[in-house]
Structure 1
Amino acid sequence: MAKQNKAYKFRLYPTDEQAFIIRKTFGCVRFVYNKMLAERKATYELLKENKEALKKVKHPTPAKYKSEFEWLKEVDSLSLANAQLNLDKAYKAFFKGNAKFPKFKSKRHKQSYTTNVVNGNIQLLDGHIKLPKLKMVKINQHRAIPSEYTIKSCTLSMTASGKYYISILTEYEKEIESKKIENVVGLDFAMDGLFVDSEGKKANYPKFYRQMLSKLASEQRKLSRKKKGSSNWNKQRIRVAKVQEKVANQRKNFLHHKSKELVTTYDAIIIEDLDMKAMSKTLKFGKSVSDNGWGMFTSFLKYKLHEQGKQLVKIDKWYPSSKTCSSCGQTQSMPMNIRVYACSCGLHLDRDVNAALTIKKEGILLLANA
């Protein structure tokens, strides 16, 4: 039996005292991370020409700082240990050439920390969760975690509007059998509505961000008129954050439902391996790309398909899906203003549907070769 992981996210309702400890832990984790990074950065600058010496350097641990900064002992020690693990991962990614050099964390960075299960220090008990240093915290557990699932770690986070959440990582044993691929669909990314599939159906994404744009702009204008750091400024900052969080929650909910619908219907889903970051930098498309959440959508598809033994296939981002005829395979120039694909073979089809069909055909070839 293979080990699988699944995370469950729930809302937390800490008391004022517990919320203070949580925020204090955020600060301590950020402090330790930055201290360790500063030392590593200094060592790297000193020894970057001598790679062998650099490999032998013993890096500082959170324990080093506890004697000098006594208040670090007041928070969960496992949260500080995880800060070191996160820095180690960031460093390894940098040296492998997969990421940029690690950056210092600021107060504007995501407020979160991770703790691990050790000797029953984390337990779910009747509407509450027992956590290190916090004891029993009220939790809105809107769905049950199967009894055979083992809790491995928990990540506590706080949103900009001051809401607390916990993500519980579980482990379970399950042999996932690969499903026979019968029903296949191709998805062509659509700037305007998330995607168009190879059967001609559109996702019809509601554009939550654009719906809220005028309200968000109004609240942000009010914020800009208030003295930064004042009580009124902070109240208005929370109002702005609540609008942004509502948009994010609406988007996430829509993407969950849409991905579940597709995963239930098809055995394999074919998409293009797009660089969304590069696309969002394009001035004309920035808001459209960030609004529909394609990256989040594909990650939802990936894990939901995996759980059912189904497949997500990504074709090369440079594959000319929009230029290729889905019927005969000929290619032709297709400027963005031309919305119908007309081919000499007689095909006359919406350009997005044609692209989705082309993506599906290329994906089926990849599946056959695999």
Structure 2
Amino acid sequence: MNYRYRIYPNLTQTQSLLEWIDVCRVAYNYGLREIKDWYNSRKCLVDRCSISHEYIMATDAPFPSEVLQLNALPSAKKVFPRLGEVPSQVLQQSLKQLHRACVGFQKVGHGFPRFKKFGQFKSLLFPQFKENPVVGLNIKLPKLGLIPINLHRPIPSGFVVKQVWIINKADIWYASINIQRDVSVPSPITL
């Protein structure tokens, strides 16, 4: 189940969240550029090359899969220090979002993923927590600390917080909290 609450980050937390969203958008676009370049380098016909542009890429270069792009993040953080500001799992989720869109294109028939302009990337996913991030009337997020939350509906007892989406809509911040409870479902009775 998902519960959505309004959160009230202070000015520094808001600036950090906006910066993280922009860094995740740039990582998404960079991953998409790698995928498009790989596809375009294989479009040239064998007997002729393109007049307008040429993609120089090794013929045995592997497809930039999700695993390869995720494994390249630690070395990219050394080259681009902005990537190190974002929690690593949040950055990984932006690349996973790109590859879910690619799977949607290939298997479901959705359109090819598009580049995200400034302002089109509006959420961050914190995929896992060691302990419950809701502490009293605050939510505790990595590298941000405690953020006040309007807990208008308490999280039911016995449920565990699995992940938290931080969403920005019209300069209002929300936390969509995914909760889960292990339940034993009885097997169906056959007649």
Normalising by the smaller structure, the TM-score range is 0.7 to 0.9
Which sections of structure 2, spanning at least 5 residues, go unmatched?
Answer: 45-58, 187-191
Equivalent-residue separation in structure 2 for 1:34 and 1:92 (angstroms):
16
1:233 is matched with none
Query: Which residue identity does 2:96 align to in structure 1?
Result: L
Q: Which has the higher contact order (CA 8 A, sep 6+)?
A: 2
Alignment of structure 1 residues 80-159 onto 2, 5 Å: 80-120=91-131, 123-159=133-169
Q: Which secondary structure state, in structure 2, belongs to the residue aligned with residue 44 of structure 1?
A: helix
**1:128 positional shift:** 0.4
Equivalent-residue separation in structure 1 for 2:62 and 2:34 (angstroms):
15
Match of 2:173 among 151, 160, 164: 164
Equivalent-residue separation in structure 2 for 1:96 and 1:113 (angstroms):
25
Q: CA 1:97–1:146 in structure 2 vs 1: closer, same or farther (change >3 Å)?
A: closer
Q: Structure 2 length as normaliser, TM-score? A: 0.79
Report Cα offsets for 1:24-55 as digits up to 9, x if no partner: 11111101000111011101122368xxx899
Matched pairs, number: 168
1:57 is matched with 63
1:36 is matched with 31
**1:118 positional shift:** 3.7
Query: Which residue identity does 2:63 align to in structure 1?
Result: V
**1:147 positional shift:** 2.0
1:74 is matched with 85
Q: Sequence identity, in percent? A: 28
Do the aligned residues in 2 keep the contact of 1:123 with 1:131 (CA within 8 Å)? yes
Report Cα offsets for 1:268-297 as digits up to 9, x if no partner: xxxxxxxxxxxxxxxxxxxxxxxxxxxxxx
Do the aligned residues in 1 keep the contact of 2:129 with 2:161 (CA within 8 Å)? no
Report Cα offsets for 1:122-151 as digits up to 9, x if no partner: 511110011011111100010011121111
Q: CA 1:144–1:164 in structure 2 vs 1: closer, same or farther (change >3 Å)?
A: same
Equivalent-residue separation in structure 2 for 1:98 and 1:54 (angstroms):
28
**1:70 positional shift:** 0.4
Q: CA 1:38–1:127 in structure 2 vs 1: closer, same or farther (change >3 Å)?
A: same
Please identify the structure whose Cα radius of gyration is greater.
1
Moved over 2 A (4+): 53-65, 173-177
Q: Structure 1 length as normaliser, TM-score? A: 0.42
Query: Which residue identity does 2:111 align to in structure 1?
Result: K
Which sections of structure 1, spanning at least 5 residues, go unmatched?
Answer: 1-5, 178-370
Q: Which protein is richer in helix relative to its size?
A: 1
Equivalent-residue separation in structure 2 for 1:66 and 1:110 (angstroms):
21
Equivalent-residue separation in structure 1 for 2:63 and 2:122 (angstroms):
30
Q: CA 1:123–1:78 in structure 2 vs 1: closer, same or farther (change >3 Å)?
A: same
**1:82 positional shift:** 0.3
Do the aligned residues in 2 keep the contact of 1:25 with 1:75 (CA within 8 Å)? yes
Query: Which residue identity does 1:35 align to in structure 2?
Result: Y
